[in-house]
Amino acid sequence: MSIKKPSTNASTAFKTIGFLCLILVAGNFILLCTWYDLLVEQRYNFYVSFFASSLENLIFFILIGLAIAIYSLRRPESELLENRIWYLYSSEHATDDSLHYNKNQIKKLAAFCKSGTSKITITDYDLSMNAYRIEVEKRYTLQNMFKDRDYEDVIDISISPDSIESDQLEMNLGGVQSKVMGEVHLLQTTVIGEAPVKHNEKVIKITDQDYKTKIGIRIPANGTTEYEFNYWMWCLVGEPHATQVLRYTETLKTTIVNHWNGKAVISLKGQEGPVEFLEHNAQFDLEERKKFTPADNLTFWWRDPDAMAQPSEDSSPTKSESSVAN
């Protein structure tokens, strides 16, 4: 289908109006030729009345048609997607190939994340590995911006485990010698109003290599879909923990909870920055991020549980440090 020559509602309306007007004019002309002698010689007054009535009908059709055409011109959202693309890119330099490419890119951008939450629970710390064991629960609510068509896409999932040298890690994975750094327990999408769809049939091992997978997602027209991703893994002290998103996210909330019996320590400003202490069962809420994009990231660093408190730049404790301590 050529996007450069779209058949819009407006153009269809103009064609229909033109056809009706042509029929009306042709009909009047035929009647005039057929009844000319009779009208001129015997019924001149009738002819004048008939012609005036026909002219009124013609004007009426033209006005109604123009109103419909103008209304259609002002509602491009009622057109096919190809026609909407043409409204955006109507330059004479646009080619069909470039328009089709942009159409596919716009289709990918037609969904955004209304809200995202990430709960990071610290469940253990291993001194020999110098690493925390964490459980992560992510939930994203995705909104389809198309009102008249489903949204379909493929989500790229990636986890990069830290490089940990330790005999404590499980080494054998189905006959293959590889370290097990964690496990993926849940990959699930739920169209609101429908049953959940689980994308992993069994627990997936996270090895010492980057874990990558893809899952398909569908969002009904003008609807929402929830995406859930749960896993656990070992995180090396001194390494950053970064969160990124795949699409524009209106609100992103991240919470860290310490269920380990000891004291967990993190830093928001690098390996050498001021530290935040989380006592047993303490909760720490990272800054809520608004208008979060794929170009942004939310990062904190895992610190040694025996780390000493370091003064901030103004040599006074931060509000978050005080609230965690309490």
Examine the fold and report which residue of 54, 78, 106 is the final residue of a domain before the chain moves on. 106
Q: Does some domain include residue 228?
A: yes
Q: Does some domain include residue 4?
A: no
From 63, 76, 73, select the one nearest 20 (Cα to Cα).
63
Query: Where residue 115 sits, what CATH number does that domain have?
Result: 2.60.40
Residue 86 is predicted with a pLDDT of 73
Residue 326 is predicted with a pLDDT of 31
Residue 252 is predicted with a pLDDT of 97
Q: Binning pLDDT at 50, 70 and 90, where does residue 4 land?
A: low
216 or 176: whose pLDDT is higher? 216
Question: Strand pairing partners for 226?
Answer: 141, 190
Examine the fold and report which residue of 60, 77, 106 is the final residue of a domain before the chain moves on. 106
Residues 228 and 317 in one domain: yes
DSSP-assigned states of every residue in 233-262? EEEETT-EEEE--SS-EEEEEEEEEE-SSS
Residues 185 and 60 in one domain: no
Residues 234 and 302 in one domain: yes
The total number of structural domains that make up the chain: 2
Residues 84 and 71 in one domain: yes
Residues 69 and 121 in one domain: no
Residue 141 is predicted with a pLDDT of 97
Q: Does some domain include residue 286?
A: yes
Domain span at residue 252 reads 111-325
What digits encode the pLDDT tens for the residues 208-252? 788 899 999 999 999 999 999 999 999 999 999 999 898 999 999
Residues 78 and 203 in one domain: no
Residue 308 is predicted with a pLDDT of 64
Residue 237 is predicted with a pLDDT of 94
**Is the CB of residue 16 less than 8 Å from the CB of residue 68?**
no
SS3 for 214-226 is EEEEEECCCCEEE
Residues 25 and 137 in one domain: no
Q: Does some domain include residue 240?
A: yes
Residues 179 and 261 in one domain: yes
Residues 158 and 120 in one domain: yes
Q: Does some domain include residue 125?
A: yes
Type of residue numbered 33: C
From 147, 170, 177, 27, select the one nearest 76 (Cα to Cα).
147
Residues 300 and 237 in one domain: yes
What digits encode the pLDDT tens for the residues 8-66? 555 565 566 666 666 766 666 666 566 555 555 555 555 556 665 666 676 767 767 77
Q: Does some domain include residue 1?
A: no
Q: Does some domain include residue 276?
A: yes
**Which of 33-37, 147-151, 280-284 has maximum average pLDDT?**
280-284
Residues 306 and 165 in one domain: yes
Examine the fold and report which residue of 106, 124, 159 is the final residue of a domain before the chain moves on. 106
What's the mean per-residue pLDDT of the chain?
80
Residues 132 and 96 in one domain: no
Which pTM value belongs to this model?
0.71
Name every residue whose Cβ is closer than 8 Å to that of residue 213 and which is 6 or more positions away in sequence.
157, 187, 204
What digits encode the pLDDT tens for the residues 117-138? 999 999 999 998 999 999 999 9
Residue 179 is predicted with a pLDDT of 78
Q: Does some domain include residue 2?
A: no
- Intra-chain end-to-end CA distance of the chain, in Å: 65
